[in-house]
Amino acid sequence: MSSDSHLKDKVVLVVDDEPDVLETVEEELDMCLMHKAADYDTALQYLLSYTYDIVILDIMGVNGFELLKTAVSRGFPTVMLTAHALSPESLKKSIKLGAVSFLPKEKISELRSYLEDVVLGEGKPVWTKLFDKLGGYFEKRFGPDWKERDKFFQEFEEQLKRDLRDQS
């Protein structure tokens, strides 16, 4: 099954301070070539020393937002994968800093599907697909009016709609 994946032989860096998360991601992405880091310093060395098709970062425990800045500056499509920092504020910061996607660890079993969207999108942000897939989840977690409470998300959604129209 993994040989049919668009992720086959992609080089991935996954950074999380929880060994079980690193192991689970490695199992989910068994078709990829994987580097794992459990702390900020190791992750930074990897980011500065190698080239990645996708970078997956935790937020808490590894200074994920700082690593995100480095990954984006190196041109690596970066996905935030978080549990404790799952909030509209972290989502907004991830978007502003250049992440291409943002996933709750609760959805780790679907990681392959989300990363295939990133690869098929040629590393460009996949926010429209993400909000389509996880809209109900975010509404349950953040409240049904979470986007309406923050002007940033209203404007961001309008921009995504404009971008879609321009592509058609």
Residue-wise pLDDT tens digits, 148-164: 999 999 999 899 888 87
CATH C-level class of 2-124: alpha beta
Kind plus residue range of the DSSP H or E element containing 12:
strand 11-15
6 Rama sector, left if φ>0, alpha if ψ -120 to 50, beta otherwise: alpha
Q: DSSP readout, 68-115?
A: HHHHHHTT--EEEEESTT-SHHHHHHHHHHT-SEEEEGGGGGGHHHHH
Q: What is the pTM of this model?
A: 0.92
Q: How far apart are CA 121 and CA 32, in angstroms?
A: 18
Written as six digits, the tokens of 34 are 């994987």
Confidence of residue 77 (pLDDT cuts 50, 70, 90): very high
- Asked if residues 138 and 127 have their Cβ atoms less than 8 Å apart, the reply is no
Q: How far apart are CA 87 and CA 42, in angstroms?
A: 26
Count of C-beta atoms within a 10 Å radius of residue 12? 22
* pLDDT score at 73: 98
Mean pLDDT of 7-20: 96
Mean pLDDT of 115-144: 88
Residue 167: pLDDT above 80? Answer: no
Q: Which residue has the tokens 């660890």?
A: 105
Residue 23: pLDDT above 60? Answer: yes
